């Protein structure tokens, strides 16, 4: 690991590092121009400082963000014209007018997946190596057998971060036991849940971590080829991944004879094409094979027969991102973090009616109240908290009475929602829960692949019934029909999309039935969203 | 397995060579269909009948499969885009923050539904199912550029500047 020493020696040449976030959120506020302005000022100042682009620092609400090391001062809302003042302040007093004071936001977090986000240039592999990157891969290839690696992952208690929560070690051992000359590893980066952007952020901020995790997984299960299936909606992530894969090959962490051993593994990127259902593993496999993204019945599970009929391991971006630190620091270290059956940390995307929108990583088992109010800063502009939605279109809305619930896979399922990939959308009294349910059902309706009838036809009927309720023309019979319909769709659909499509309806009915009844009995919408008359939404003429 | 001859390129437009390059990189395997259609769309702006037929023949996939794939995925468009594109994100976070009102205002101004292009071919109005910038909701894409915390007034100004001249 000479590279690490070289990088750190390089690091030592500077008194100050000025990191500028160039992930999507800050980039949309021209942080690239800010970086150029800072670079110019830094050169002119004659100070021993370096300006570099880094990944997401989490607090998108206060962007564009600049982090100064070693003083760890965080600046927000920085413009190009502030560059001179900021560079001049290095080594002096920080610029108070731009400093971000969100101690609560950062102190309560624990970064494992995001440990490098904001500290390294995502396109430079050497910076990743300088922060212990690829140490785990070298250790695994030179000191451990595949069986020991799987044992470590099982002992760590890591569960699938795509939302299902399937034990990762168990999945790996199933693939390892499957017989096949060719095996594949697939990284599911088709982050289809609207309102979630953790995977995008990891891929844009620290792509090497995912590549390393995949290489370790490939060694453990005996695969020689990997695919990263990324959404076409994430062009920045795709371009950074492309660069990172090239860098990893150049450094010998991908290809043949990796780290001087007999292990060979390479990764290709495959672009998604905008279909939510492709997050379902069998649909994703069909899509990589160049077919329509339609799921097929399981079993056989991909672990037995997946891509091109070979045993295939599919894990989410965040699952792979957890692998290197687990092997670097040991399974015991990882399993000491988090809650009983949900170990480690989870990255959440906090959005909606909340003061500190952005990305957070917290130990599992923290309560929703702590996340929403302590870290998220609560509802801004004096609004009143109404619900937090987790799990995307497959999840549910959790009301205030359950805010003291610890966030674990099982506890969320217990209240009719689910962990999902980690989107948390906070709603206040300006949101109508019937309308929110209708929004999610509309999403599932348009995204249904059409293969099985319950989902293809059922979601349309659900949507029409909800539209009737929103328009104030529904009766109690319609509501009963809706409940029956949910039951049928949930129990007879082919894949997860259909099985979970009724969840937003069921969970809003469970906690906010009074809102449904108000729409039906009084033709009244307390949030004033549904006109309870004719409305035009998302391209449909609503006819009462 | 008989060896089929490679079909001739549809025209001597240089862009077909780029498309062919993608297919060659994947060894003309059937599973390169989606990757190739991505290349066609990024080179020509959309997929047309001709292009799909050519790709299907070159990769030896049935026409039904090629058209099936082209029409299944949201990302692929069979119609040429307008000179400018306004994409409004209707992901959950943007929706909670009023993306539906943005969309209604844009529809009213342009007199078109999402997914369509104005008569003069100047503006296409699109919706996206979450571009992953939820921290800045509501967001829109002005051509390729992301704009966060969109105010309806600001969006309408942008659209008017496209429709009034050029």
CB contact under 8 A, B134 and A275: no
Residue B60 sits at φ, ψ, to 5 deg, of: 60, 40
Using a CB–CB cutoff of 8 Å, tell me whether B42 touches chain A: no
User: Which residues are registered as beta bridge partners of A52?
Assistant: A19
Q: Please classify residue A195 by burial: count the beta carbons closer than 10 Å to its beta carbon, then call 0-12 exposed, 13-18 middle and 19+ buried.
A: buried
User: Contact A425/B92, CB-based, under 8 Å?
Assistant: yes
Take residue A73 and report the two structure tokens written for it: 């001062």
The model's pTM is: 0.95
| Local structure of A184: helix, strand or coil | strand
Q: Which of B113, B129, B133 sits opposite A25 (nearest CB)?
A: B133
**Which residues of chain A have a CB within 8 Å of the CB of B131?**
24, 233
Query: Are A439 and B95 a contacting pair at CB < 8 A?
Result: yes
Chain B nearest-CA distance from A450, in A, is 10
Q: How far is A343 from chain B (nearest CA, A)?
A: 26
Task: Find tokens 């019934």 and name the residue.
Answer: A465
* Residue A11 to residue A389: CA distance in whole angstroms: 42
* Dihedral sign computed on CA atoms, order A491, A496, A502, A507: positive
> What pLDDT, on a 0 to 100 scale, did the predictor assign at position A104?
84
Q: Parallel, antiparallel, or unpaired: how do β-strands A385-390 and A396-399 relate?
A: antiparallel
**Using CB atoms, which residue from A63, A357, A538 is nearest to B103?**
A538
Name the one residue in this structure whose structure tokens are 């071919």. B121
Question: Is residue B109 less than 8 Å (CB to CB) from chain A?
Answer: no
CB count in 10 Å sphere of residue A493 = 24
Across the beta sheet with A66-69, the strand order is A49-54, A16-21, A66-69, A73-75
Report cis status (omega within 30 of 0) of the bond before B46: no
Q: CA A33, CA B145: separation in Å to the nearest integer? A: 14
Side-chain-side CA neighbours of residue A153 (13 Å): 31
Residue B165's pLDDT band (boundaries 50, 70, 90)?
low
Residue in A29, A233, A271 nearest the CB of B148: A29
Question: Are A12 and A137 in contact, with CB atoms under 8 Å apart?
Answer: no
pLDDT at position A543: 37
Instruction: Report, as an integer, the average pLDDT of B116-138.
Output: 93
Measured CA to CA, the distance from residue B124 to residue B142 in angstroms comes to 11
Per-residue pLDDT of chain A (544 residues; tens, 9 = 90+): 667 777 777 777 889 999 999 999 999 999 999 999 999 999 999 889 999 999 999 998 898 999 998 888 999 999 999 999 999 999 889 999 999 988 888 999 999 999 999 999 999 999 999 999 999 999 999 999 999 999 999 999 999 999 889 999 999 999 999 999 999 999 999 998 899 999 999 999 999 999 999 999 999 999 999 999 999 999 999 999 999 999 999 999 999 999 999 999 999 999 999 999 999 999 999 999 999 999 999 999 999 999 999 999 999 999 999 999 999 999 999 999 999 999 999 999 999 999 999 999 999 999 999 999 999 999 999 899 999 999 999 999 999 999 999 999 999 999 999 998 999 999 999 999 999 999 999 999 999 999 999 999 999 999 999 999 999 999 999 999 999 999 999 999 999 999 999 999 999 999 999 999 999 999 999 999 997 744 444 434 433 3
Asked whether residue B46 is marked as a ligand-binding residue, the answer is no
Query: Mean pLDDT over all residues of chain A?
Result: 93
CA distance B119 to B117: 6
CA–CA separation, B32 and B59 (whole Å): 8
A interface mutation test: which of B92, B116, B148 has the most A CBs within 10 A? B92
CB < 8 Å to B37, chain A: 273
Q: Which of residues 132-161 of B touch A (CB under 8 A)?
A: 132-137, 139, 145-148
Q: Compute how many other C-beta atoms are within 10 angstroms of the C-beta atom of residue B159.
A: 21
**B130 marked among binding-site residues:** yes
Distance CA A9, CA A7 (A): 5
My answer on whether omega of the bond before A65 falls inside 30° of 0, hence cis, is no
pLDDT in tens, B53-103: 999 999 999 999 999 999 999 999 999 999 999 999 999 999 999 999 999
> Does residue B86 have a known ligand-binding role?
no
Pairwise CB contact (< 8 Å): B146 & A24: yes
Which residues, including other chains, have CB under 8 Å from residue B75's CB and lie 6 or more apart? A232, A233, A272, A273, A274, B38, B41
Residues 6+ apart with CB under 8 A from A362: A108, A109, A110, A345, A346, A348, A370, A371, A375, A407
In whole angstroms, give the CA distance from residue A262 to residue A215. 13
Contact yes or no for B72 and A537 at CB 8 A: no
């Amino acid at each position: 690991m000479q590279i690490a020493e070289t990088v750190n020696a390089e690091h030592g040449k500077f008194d100050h590092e000025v990191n500028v976030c160039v992930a999507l959120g800050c980039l949309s506020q021209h942080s690239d121009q800010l970086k150029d302005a800072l670079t110019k000022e830094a050169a002119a100042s004659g100070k021993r400082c370096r300006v570099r682009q880094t990944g997401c620092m989490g607090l998108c609400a206060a962007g564009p963000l600049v982090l100064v090391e070693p003083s760890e001062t965080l600046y927000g809302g920085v413009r190009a014209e502030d560059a001179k003042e900021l560079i001049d302040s290095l080594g002096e007093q920080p610029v108070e007018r731009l400093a971000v004071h969100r101690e609560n936001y950062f102190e309560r977090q624990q970064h494992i997946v995001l440990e490098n986000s904001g500290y390294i240039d995502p396109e430079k592999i050497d910076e990743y190596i300088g922060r212990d990157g690829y140490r785990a891969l070298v250790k695994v290839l030179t000191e451990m057998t595949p069986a020991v690696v799987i044992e470590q992952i099982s002992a760590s208690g890591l569960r699938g971060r795509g939302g299902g929560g399937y034990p990762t070690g168990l999945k790996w051992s199933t693939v390892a036991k499957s017989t096949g000359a060719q095996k594949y590893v697939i990284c599911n980066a088709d982050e289809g849940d609207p309102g979630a952007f953790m995977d995008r952020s990891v891929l844009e901020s620290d792509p090497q971590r995912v590549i390393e995790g995949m290489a370790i997984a490939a060694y453990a299960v005996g695969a020689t080829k990997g695919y990263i299936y990324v959404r076409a909606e994430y062009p920045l992530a795709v371009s950074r991944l492309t660069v990172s894969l090239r860098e990893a090959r150049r450094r010998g962490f991908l290809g043949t004879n990796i780290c001087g051993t007999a292990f060979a593994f390479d990764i290709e990127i495959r672009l998604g094409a905008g279909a939510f259902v492709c997050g379902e593993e069998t649909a994703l496999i069909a899509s990589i094979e160049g077919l329509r993204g339609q799921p097929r019945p399981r079993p056989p599970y991909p672990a037995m027969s997946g891509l091109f009929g070979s045993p295939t391991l599919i894990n989410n971006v965040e699952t792979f991102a957890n692998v290197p630190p687990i092997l670097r620091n040991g399974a015991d270290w990882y399993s000491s973090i988090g809650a009983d059956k949900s170990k480690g940390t989870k990255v959440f995307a906090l959005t909606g009616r909340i003061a500190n929108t952005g990305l957070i990583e917290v130990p599992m088992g923290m309560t929703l109240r702590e996340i929403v109010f302590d870290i998220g800063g609560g509802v801004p502009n004096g609004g009143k908290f109404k619900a937090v939605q987790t799990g995307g279109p497959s999840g549910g809305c959790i009301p205030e009475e359950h805010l003291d619930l610890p966030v674990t896979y099982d506890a969320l399922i217990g209240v009719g929602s689910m962990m999902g990939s980690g989107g948390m959308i906070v709603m206040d009294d300006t949101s109508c829960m019937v309308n929110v349910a209708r929004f999610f059902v509309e999403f599932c309706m348009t995204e249904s692949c059409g293969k099985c009838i319950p989902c293809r036809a059922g979601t349309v009927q659900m949507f029409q019934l909800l539209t009737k309720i929103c328009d104030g023309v529904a009766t109690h019979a319609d509501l009963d029909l809706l409940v029956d319909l949910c039951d049928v769709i949930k129990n007879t659909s082919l894949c997860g999309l259909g099985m979970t499509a009724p969840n937003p309806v069921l969970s809003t009915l469970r906690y906010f039935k009074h809102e449904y009844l108000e729409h039906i009995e009084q033709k009244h919408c307390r949030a004033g969203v549904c006109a309870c008359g004719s409305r035009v939404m998302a391209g449909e003429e609503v006819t009462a | 397995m008989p060896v089929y001859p490679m079909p001739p390129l549809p025209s001597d437009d240089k862009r077909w060579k780029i498309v062919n390059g993608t297919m060659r990189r994947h060894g003309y395997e059937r599973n390169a269909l989606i990757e190739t259609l991505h290349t066609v769309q990024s080179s020509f702006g959309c997929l047309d009948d001709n292009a799909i037929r050519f790709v299907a023949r070159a990769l030896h996939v049935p026409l039904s499969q090629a058209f099936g794939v082209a029409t299944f995925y949201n990302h692929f468009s069979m119609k040429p885009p307008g000179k400018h594109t306004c994409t409004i994100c209707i992901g959950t976070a943007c929706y909670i923050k009023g993306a539906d009102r943005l969309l209604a205002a844009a529809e009213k101004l342009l007199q078109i539904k999402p997914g369509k292009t104005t008569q003069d071919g100047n503006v296409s109005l699109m919706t996206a199912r979450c571009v992953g910038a939820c921290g800045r909701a509501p967001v829109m894409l002005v051509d390729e550029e992301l704009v966060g915390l969109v105010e309806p007034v600001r969006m309408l100004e942008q659209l008017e500047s496209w429709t009034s001249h050029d």
